[in-house]
Amino acid sequence: MAETARHHEPRYGNRPTMKDVAARAGVGLKTVSRVVNSEPGVTPDTERRVQEAIDALGFRRNDSARVLRKGRTASIGLVLEDLADPFYGPLSRAVEEVARAHGALLINGSSAEDPEREQELVLALCARRVDGLIVIPAGDDHRYLEPEIKAGIATVFVDRPAGQIDADIVLSDSFGGAREGVAHLIAHGHRRIGFIGDQPRIHTATERLRGYHAAMVDAGINVQDSWVSLGSTDPSRVRAAAEAMLSGPEPVTALFAGNNRVTVTAVRVLADRERPVALVGFDDIELADLLGITVISQDAAAVGRTAAEHLFRRLDGADDAPARVELPTSLIARGSGELPPA
Amino acid sequence: MAETARHHEPRYGNRPTMKDVAARAGVGLKTVSRVVNSEPGVTPDTERRVQEAIDALGFRRNDSARVLRKGRTASIGLVLEDLADPFYGPLSRAVEEVARAHGALLINGSSAEDPEREQELVLALCARRVDGLIVIPAGDDHRYLEPEIKAGIATVFVDRPAGQIDADIVLSDSFGGAREGVAHLIAHGHRRIGFIGDQPRIHTATERLRGYHAAMVDAGINVQDSWVSLGSTDPSRVRAAAEAMLSGPEPVTALFAGNNRVTVTAVRVLADRERPVALVGFDDIELADLLGITVISQDAAAVGRTAAEHLFRRLDGADDAPARVELPTSLIARGSGELPPA
DNA sequence: ATGAAAGCGCTAACAA
DNA sequence: TTGTTAGCGCTTTCAT
């Protein structure tokens, strides 16, 4: 152990490099590079010798070095709210599939709906020089991304428009979906309809509320303040909001739930009551068919796929004006939305 | 446009480098590096000038170059089966949180249960020199990882033991959980109990089947071949298997579902029948409480967290013998598992 | 067909 | 406190 580490030596726990492979195979460095990258101009015999050295040493190309030279990382970043949310799993998976088809890896991070954390994540991804970025915005000001986009990081926003910045955007028709859902309840005889949604700083929450109002106005119904509640999707908050709307002298006879988490809690609240209350939820949920829950369904995978396809179009050089794609939602009637007023 | 690109110039769409910042601020390169990395030894005044240049140019450190020098990427890889599966979302999120606490990014990929794709993904992550790797094995031979592990990439396997390789492993007690679930059915009077599980090459599937057999043997019940079906979790396959077991002269009176996807389909099949059939499923499912489904619950987030913590212990230098951690499962009785035989 | 040399943007070591 | 130099492992260019 008389070895003296004279100079710095990161070497990743002592991995062989192309130089090592070259030495062992008795060829030049560039020849190894050619073999590793399947470039032409190597005789079968040389190639075999190089390959043997690669296998013997357990060589694996260091992509960090490669990236440094080539300028492209063959990776894209996805910043979403929470991977544990059943809406984002399929979305992320769809993005991954498209990335894979383009030979790229996906790095994703959860912002936990915190604008600061979103920025932190996005900048970390930029520092790693991802080729492109798909962002489900938590914050409402994305000017911090300007230098990045100018520097060539293609960016697509999803689910909510970006603040203060011009870029491609893919979203579901929150307004139209909510409007349709609420109109559905009205068509089944309801007039006093409650709306429970996510925090007002979240774009989809206000869009869906706008859809609710539009449907009510269309029907000539005067919305009472007490019928609307925006806030955290924490079960206790949602439960309290629902119970408030369902009690008192003039309780609502139907509820519109602004997203999947609200729906889940609403279903639980309604399960505890004897008087039937109609319910339509935004977002489909697993097993909702068995529980007979009527929902406005949005296709998370389609959203992810569309966003990723737009991103790679940009990466392939498309430079037309930023597009805004709005994907339709669909109402799935399963019973809870068709209950008449009690 | 008389500009001639004489030499190669990747430069990431023309991003400023530390050199550019240094020139603009009128300082040396290393001083910029110090400011960017918050190293000591810079006067407040110099720091301010450098920071101004950074902001003006929109400089962002290139982590590829940094990694190349430092040897650590501050990122870990997670290879799982399918991010769209509700079991893996929370698991991944838990890993991400631990990584974040250690200042690392998470790169994850879905193997789609394909051993080749798993290897492809893992090697891509290794080429990017992730510091560590958490793998939910799809294949049963991981010798291809030997050079990587030897080279210092810490690795933790999750959910299923790795094939042919010695490494940390974190899993749920599939055997014990299934045994408990089946014993629960037996305790409620069942003797003819069906088991529908995932493909036999998946370790958890055979472990759970082993648990089933153990419980049956404990009760002195002779298991009939027709009561057991392993295979794809595709709804049509599961439906066919369930219907076969539920028909004929001596149908099963209870079903044990080997994982969340099987449970979902089983619930749908049973919903179509009038004769009540008891059901216990492995893995909890959202809304299972409302449907009264009895399950063996495993804590996906705890599995992810534990695995990540082990990984970072290794990255922090721990070199004790590979550990095998088995997390307990818990039976949640909600009604379907307590139905008596018809 | 093959290789030598330069350099991607950064950090470690060493001077000044 | 600040700057200079070398070099991480690879690809690019250009020569042989």
For B157-216, how does the pLDDT look when each residue is reduced to its tens digit (9 = 90+)?
999 888 778 889 999 999 999 999 999 999 999 999 999 999 998 999 999 999 999 999
Residue-wise pLDDT tens digits, A182-205: 999 999 999 999 999 999 989 999
Q: Please, what is the average pLDDT of chain A?
A: 92
Distance between CA atoms of residues A172 and A33, nearest Å: 46
Phi, psi values for residue A281, rounded to 5°: -115, 150
Residue A313, pLDDT score: 94
Question: Six-digit token pair at A155?
Answer: 């960016």
pTM for the whole structure:
0.91
Q: Could you say which residues 257-276 of protein chain B have a Cβ atom less than 7 A away from any atom in strand C?
A: none
Contact status, residue A168 vs residue A112, Cβ threshold 8 Å: no
Contact status, residue A265 vs residue A243, Cβ threshold 8 Å: no
Question: Helix/strand/coil (H, E, C) string of B165-192?
Answer: CCCEEEEECHHHHHHHHHHHHHHCCCCC
Residue tagged 């069906």 (tokens)? B194
The nearest CA of chain B is from the CA of A143 a distance in Å of: 12
| DSSP string over B310-330 | HHHHHHTT--SPPPEEEE--E
- Beta carbons within 8 Å of B319's beta carbon, 6+ residues apart: none
Distance between CA atoms of residues B232 and A227, nearest Å: 47
Say how far A187 CA is from D11 C1', in Å.
66
- B8: the nucleotide nearest its CA (via C1') is D12
Residue B54, pLDDT score: 94
Q: Which of B131, B113, B133, B114 is nearest to B122 (CA)?
A: B133
Q: Which residue of B has its CA nearest to A62?
A: B127
CB contact under 8 A, A290 and B267: yes
Number of H helices, E strands in chain B: 14, 12
Residue-wise pLDDT tens digits, B291-309: 999 999 999 999 999 999 9
Q: Which of A156, A153, A137, A5 is nearest to A95 (CA)?
A: A156
Residue A47, pLDDT score: 93
Question: Six-digit token pair at A118?
Answer: 């979103």
Distance between CA atoms of residues A282 and A181, nearest Å: 8
Residue A38 has pLDDT above 80, yes or no: yes
Window 306-335 of B: residues touching A by CB (8 A cutoff) are none
Residue-wise pLDDT tens digits, B279-291: 999 999 989 999 9
Report the pLDDT averaged over residues A226-241.
97
Confidence category of residue A13, pLDDT binned at 50, 70, 90:
low
Please state, in angstroms and as integers, the Cα–Cα distance from residue B311 to each residue in A82, A110, B156, following that order: 22, 20, 6
Confidence category of residue A294, pLDDT binned at 50, 70, 90:
very high
Residue-wise pLDDT tens digits, B99-110: 999 999 999 899
Neighbours of A11 (CB within 10 A): 13
Please state, in angstroms and as integers, the Cα–Cα distance from residue A184 to each residue in A190, B56, B309, following that order: 9, 54, 49
E strands, A209-318, are: 228-230, 254-257, 278-282, 294-297
The nearest CA of chain A is from the CA of B186 a distance in Å of: 27
